[in-house]
Structure 1
Amino acid sequence: MVAKTFFGFEDILAEELRNLGAGNVEKGVRNVSFEGDKGFMYKANLCLRTAVKVLKPIAEFRVMNENDLYRRVQRMNLREFMNVNTTFAINATVTGDLFTHSQYVAFKTKDAIVDKFRKEENVRPNVDTKHPDIRLNVHIQNNWCTVSLDSSGASLHHRGYRTATNIAPINEALAAGLIMLSGWHGQSDFLDPMCGSGTMCIEAAMIACNVPANLNRKEFAFEKWDDWDVDLYELIEAAQLKHIRDFRYKITGYDKAPSAIAKAKENIKNAQLEDFITVKEQNFFETQKEGNDFLQMVFNPPYGERLPVEMEEFYKQIGDTLKTGYPGSHAWLITSNMESLKHVGLRPSRKIKCFNGSLESRLVKYEMYEGSKKGKYQED
């Protein structure tokens, strides 16, 4: 099988899969391949935090043009997973010079399937892009084509808890990956100083308490497959719930917008994590660290893409607030605005390349020391 993820998250996803018990784990680019049985496929969809899809390859072949693709799809034993009454949907991704239009590849694959059934049974199966019985994924890299069953359905970042969002909400799987890249697994207090609708805090709490990432999700695509085994799934879910652990630190979110705090509280309630997360209507630039214990911060400040902000001054205020108010903290932030990042006035100890959607970004780390070590960081 293959789990798809974001650029830069391959190592984390591979570690997740090994920890779950996957066999033969191999990293690719934006994906990790692995081996497992049907029960493990269920577990992967339920538990993986940084995956956006879990695919089950059913055919691989070489293609040189669209006619090749049409013929090779028609040679597949389609009746192993569908019949004329099965509704289906197809999505495609292509890289290389031979195929450049993913929608055309999806269209050609659809034609091959319906023409095969029409020729053999004089009836064609129907396409249903919203709620199909099966979803097929076609991936062509140069001239190598892989056709897979999509076991997830909607992207796995749709956890099921987030019913209220702000203008620029962060992807849930991206948020989980950023937190895991920061090295935080529930061993300290946690703060998102610009929490928006609460995604970062919720993902942090789920990691800290070892709550399965997609426990609140309403459905997976495999639930419509002919071999869907509800008893097996319930056994796996029950086994994972036994691994949930308590958490003795504090997770806090700040936002200066009352509407954002209201949405965050609703989402936290949906995730059943009210006991672990506190959100406050507060302007981060008017705050300081509470207590003397170590604090981990991970946040997603505005980039200037969708939220109108005077970026240079805004990022300067981030740096000033960290320097004066948050000694004994590690602050991680993601941004695609490399120019504004210079105005933080602190030297990052780490920079990690990643993507927020299509935006090339950097996850940067600032280590705020107490006492004499403050001098380590001088304004650029």
Structure 2
Amino acid sequence: MSRVVGTLEKTDLDSREMLDHPHARYAHLRENHPVSWATATGLLQGKGGYMLTRYDDVQFVFSDERFSTDVMKNSPAGKFIWLLPPSLRMLAQTMVFKDDPDHKRLRTLVHKAFTPKLVSTMAADVSKIAEELADQVAAMRDVDLVHEYAVRLPMAVIATMLGVADEDRDKFQFLVEKLGNQQGNMLRGFPTARKLAKLFEELIDDRRLNPDEGLISELVLANEGGDRLSHKELVSMVFLLLLAGHDTTANLIGSSVLALIENPDQQQLLRAQPELLESTAIEELLRFTSPVADGAARFALEDMEIHGVPIPRGSQVLGAITSANRDESVFEKPEELDLTRKPNRHLAFAFGIHYCLGHQLARLEGRTALATLVERFPNWELAARPDDLRYKPTVSLRGLTKLPVRMY
């Protein structure tokens, strides 16, 4: 899993140990090697980049203007991105990979369609979806909670927000899950991305002719001083909202259920005080599970030094959110789940200009999903050996592949 490269420790983030049991390694790095070297398929290009594991350093790389997320401008691979099929090229040109002023322009336009008011109107829909899925869970003795509940809830929510027709829901779910499994291999995911792009283009064209109160209509109508999203930007933005808002929330729900099963005292506390989900509990579960394991890799725009380690201009620098959220210098007893933890300055939604635009919706979905399970099922049991549980082989996101449980 690790070896010394020059004077730097090296960590293979693709290794099974780092996917399933990363916390001991991160604790070692925070204490002894706050700047190390990492390799990660789909997240770090080429031979890898520098990894920061302490909270203050991760926050620094997320907020300092001397770091860029613009792959097109700063990555050698950016010169060849035009060779990619259009549907994949759009994924690399979302606002996640833009710096200001381009990022600010896109975020300002999209924010108008993603206001707290719009999210609040989804509460009834999210609750209804959670109840319907819980009915199905109740009809099963053993259930894979990831596939039957954690994945399907945000999938149904985003399909509702996008206005995907009922007859297209199964196709939509199949394509989204397939694309998620192909992350890290863009060429293999091309046919799936192309089919989704076609579906989104049809939805956008329909909303131009038949506007409603949904998310796509809001994006089509978004206007800032006469500036609007182009057709390509609209499709790209829908892709981003889908990928950023679906898998991450599914990870939060599945990992939170496991955390509560493994910490029965905290589960009992939540059952006694379910109102904690509206305040400290959901924040602690976000910190403890870190559904987004790492932020997008940054590129150093100038030579610099961090903890005595030279970082040459053009280098990739990775902020390890999973590690930052368990930094002993920031969180008391960080390895313990404490649903009453306050304050809780976790970085689950990143920091700075790229702070997650959908954080309010993620919180709403997470609270509702867990509150429904707590209310409906007094008993939660793991139906597998803890050592048999595995996390998805996607380095940037962290979530269980399966969670076999009995709920009754």
Larger radius of gyration: 1
TM-score bucket (shorter structure): under 0.3
Determine which structure has the larger strand proportion and give its number. 1
Question: TM-score of the superposition, structure 1-length normalised?
Answer: 0.23
Determine which structure has the larger helix proportion and give its number. 2
Question: TM-score of the superposition, structure 2-length normalised?
Answer: 0.22
Relative contact order: is structure 1 or structure 2 higher (C-alpha 8 Å, sep ≥ 6)? Answer: 2
